[in-house]
């Protein structure tokens, strides 16, 4: 797993590859425990209209590039971030995957995190929220809002970004702050409720709730 080494945003060079862009403007990826890095490729056989690989057709970037180093992977992420504003990093963790943005820190904004969602759903939710943040529709701790074609979410300040946002920390260091988009289940229940998602406990919350605000 890529650790929290500090990186300079002024010295890292962009090395994006056009044939690796997903959806035209961000990188859905993952680092799992082994480590491996999953991301979707641009439109190819097996892709849907968004450029995402359909289930069973995913690609492991680190497996596809066995000689690549963590530094080279960070260069790929950094290049996508420079070209398109942010990247989305998906992390496989057994039953509790999570995903986060890499790049909003450059604009003086907190990175965004979701937990307990598939790569496709996590990427979509983060992309919508990041796009809104960059045009001034900011999220703050305790706010509840419904994202377009998405669930009701409440924003929670992430207590320890350095424990979760490895790529963002590697690039930006201790400047990184983060907000988690905590989603309600289909019955409008939150993960701090005992009956959330039929009690499966699939959405870890990475911070303490603030006083609730409505968007």
**In Å, how far are 138, 166, 170, 203 from 135, measured between CA atoms?**
8, 26, 26, 28
Round to the nearest angstrom and report the end-to-end CA distance of the chain.
Answer: 36
**Could you tell me the two tokens for 165?**
């946002």
| Confidence at residue 168, expressed as pLDDT on a 0 to 100 scale | 95
Mean pLDDT of 27-37: 36
- What number of other Cβ atoms are within 10 A of residue 131's Cβ? 15
Higher pLDDT residue, 198 or 54?
198
What is the distance between the alpha carbons of residues 61 and 52, in angstroms, rounded to a whole number? Answer: 14
Q: What is the pLDDT of residues 146-183, one digit of tens each?
A: 988 889 999 999 999 999 999 999 999 999 999 999 99
Domain boundaries, the chain: 18-214
12 or 187, greater pLDDT = 187
pLDDT at 152 (0 to 100):
94
Count Cβ atoms below 10 Å from residue 63 Cβ, excluding itself. Answer: 12
- DSSP SS3 for 88: strand
Q: What's the chain's length in residues?
A: 215
- In the numeric block, the tokens 């998405």 are attached to 150
Rounded to an integer, the average pLDDT of 46-51 is: 36
Band of pLDDT at residue 194, cut at 50, 70 and 90 = confident
């Amino acid at each position: 797993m890529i650790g929290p080494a500090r990186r300079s945003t002024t010295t890292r060079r962009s090395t994006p590859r056009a044939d690796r862009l997903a959806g035209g403007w961000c990188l859905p990826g993952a680092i799992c425990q082994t480590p491996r890095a999953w991301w979707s490729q641009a439109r190819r056989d097996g892709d849907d209209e968004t450029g995402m690989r359909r289930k069973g057709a995913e690609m492991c970037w680190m497996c596809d590039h066995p000689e690549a180093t963590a530094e080279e992977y960070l260069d790929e992420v950094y290049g996508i971030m420079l070209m398109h504003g942010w990247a989305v990093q998906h992390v496989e963790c057994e039953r509790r995957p999570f995903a986060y943005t890499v790049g909003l820190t450059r604009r003086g904004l907190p990175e965004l995190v979701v937990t307990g969602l598939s790569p496709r759903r996590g990427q979509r939710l983060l992309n919508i929220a990041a796009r809104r943040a960059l045009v001034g529709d900011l999220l703050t701790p305790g706010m509840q809002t419904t994202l377009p074609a998405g669930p009701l979410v409440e924003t929670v300040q992430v207590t320890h970004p350095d424990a979760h946002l490895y790529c963002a920390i590697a690039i930006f260091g201790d400047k990184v702050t983060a907000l988690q988009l905590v989603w309600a289940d289909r019955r409008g229940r939150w993960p701090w409720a005992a009956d959330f998602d039929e009690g499966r406990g699939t959405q870890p919350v990475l911070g303490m709730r603030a006083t609730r605000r409505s968007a």
